[in-house]
Amino acid sequence: MQTEFDLCNMSMSILIIVILTSLVVALCHKWYKFSSTLKELQWLRQPKGWPLLGHIFEFKDSTTILTDVLRIRKQLGEKLFILNFGLSTNIVCMDYDFSEFVLTTQDILNKGDDYKFLHQWIGTGLLTSDGPKWKKRRRLITPAFHFSILEDFIESFEQNGKVLIQKLKTVTEKDIDIHRYITLYALDVICDAAMGVTVNAQNDEDSQYVRDIKLLLKVLSERAISVLKGSKLLFPLFPDYYHVKQAVKHLHSVTYSVIDSRREKLNQAQNKHSEFDDDIGRKKKMAFLDILLKSTVDGQPLSRDDIREEVDTFMFEGHDTTSSAMGFALYLLARHQDVQKKAVEEQKEVFSDDIYRNISYNDLQQMKYMECVIKEALRLYPSVPMFARRTDVDVSYKGQKFAMLEMKSTLSKVLRNFELHPTNPEHKLIVASEAVLKSTNGVNIRLVERKW
């Protein structure tokens, strides 16, 4: 009996030694790579940091990330510098020429580590995929935004926009968080565009689908700035881990269900030879999903999982980023009455005597000043304030149309129906760098019905 006990203790001791040795070896390897990288980048400056922890304590929370980075840049006097988080080395770039190089070169296509938080939900679609897979998906998806396909989505902007206007008419003459209304509108539009389905988010804000989307975006933002929640090893210790798991399971089941249903309808239509017959293969409006179902890569159709990845990616990219941009644009228009006046004058020119008629693709093409307003809002409040790329080799230095159409259509409809005014006292944004740029205290403005 004693011998068995001794053997058990010995086995346990050996196991502990093996585990500790493995951890030490892994840490030493990580330290060696970290030290080697720093040696290669010694020409770049960095603020004073803590051993092993690096510059973690330079940052407080998501609302101060951007100002903290600006503070460090001013302190170092450099547009290019190093920030270490644990044993991870990051080159921070605030030079637009170098940023353009990083984001356009074919040598740096691998995404930064923060993108891994999205994998559970959207997999490795166009947003999160690396190298060869990204190139194939890019070639596949670009035709989906042909102008003759985009024209079909104007009806979706229009119909969902009418619901938005009716909602806003119930809250005129008082301070409101415009971002809340715009976000639900954008979710309705993107579900129609991506999957050809109606989720009715504006009229059913408490639906399971809407709640799941909100939960994932919230936890994603928290994981990006939390050392503990950001750890793959420690995250399962938090209740959010199980909430996210359930939300992802439900969202995937919805997407898969729609994929199977649309595939069956497409097959039936093709057998009848009656559904798709024009210059780009469609008679009725094609959702993004339909285009994926009819596409091939290397001669093979996309798998069910491949299609789900791209649909969910389109849902994520086309919902939160666009609503962020529209919210900030409306906030800026409320604060700058002279700019709002010019934008309204352009609406008069475009719509002439029928100011409330349905918008057309040609109308949107004429809104040059509105496009300038949107681009200036994006310059001041970029929807995605930071990009990350990872390179494993030495490098030498020296989809957008859909979103723009949606934003122009929405801002046009809002401006034709309401005067935008700042709150009293004027609302001061507390901007946070999360999954997308957001104001943690809302984007509050005041609406007054416009009299023509």
Same domain, 195 and 62: no
Q: Residue 351, Cα to own-chain centre: how many angstroms?
A: 33
Does any domain span residue 89? yes
Same domain, 49 and 181: no
Same domain, 146 and 54: no
Does any domain span residue 32? no
Same domain, 134 and 54: no
Same domain, 395 and 285: yes
Query: How many domains does the structure of the chain reveal?
Result: 2
Residues of the domain holding 53: 43-94
Same domain, 267 and 311: yes
Same domain, 75 and 163: no
Strand-pair category, 88-93 with 110-111: unpaired
Does any domain span residue 178? yes
Q: Where are the alpha helices (DSSP H) in 367-446?
A: 368-380, 401-417
Does any domain span residue 109? no
Domain edge (last residue) among 94, 113, 137: 94
In this predicted structure, what is the pLDDT of residue 169?
96
Same domain, 234 and 343: yes
Does any domain span residue 104? no
pLDDT tens digits along 200-254: 899 988 889 889 988 998 898 888 777 788 888 889 999 999 999 999 999 999 9
CATH number of the domain where residue 273 is located: 1.10.630.10
pLDDT tens digits along 286-313: 678 888 888 876 778 888 999 999 889 8
Q: What is the DSSP annotation of 337-349?
A: HHHHHHHHHHHHH
In this predicted structure, what is the pLDDT of residue 194?
81
In this predicted structure, what is the pLDDT of residue 280?
44
Phi-psi region of 169 (alpha: psi -120 to 50; beta: other; left: phi over 0): alpha
**HEC string for 237-267:** HCHHHHHHHHHHHHHHHHHHHHHHHHHHHHH
Backbone angles phi, psi at 265, to 5 degrees: -65, -40
Crossing angle of helices 337-351 and 304-335, rounded to 10°: 120
Structure tokens at 306: 């491949």
Give the global pTM: 0.83
In this predicted structure, what is the pLDDT of residue 181?
95
Strand-pair category, 389-390 with 110-111: antiparallel
Does any domain span residue 4? no
Same domain, 86 and 135: no
Same domain, 271 and 330: yes
Does any domain span residue 78? yes
Does any domain span residue 205? yes
Same domain, 204 and 337: yes
Q: Where are the alpha helices (DSSP H) in 94-177?
A: 96-104, 119-122, 131-141, 147-150, 154-169
In this predicted structure, what is the pLDDT of residue 171?
95
- Enumerate residue ranges in the chain where pLDDT < 50: 276-282
Domain edge (last residue) among 75, 94, 113: 94
Q: What is the DSSP annotation of 190-228?
A: HHHHHHS----TTT-TTSHHHHHHHHHHHHHHHHHH-TT
Same domain, 67 and 173: no
Q: Could you give the count of Cα atoms lying within 13 Å of 280 in the half-sphere of its Cβ? A: 16
In this predicted structure, what is the pLDDT of residue 279?
46
318 and 403 Cβ atoms separated by less than 8 Å: yes
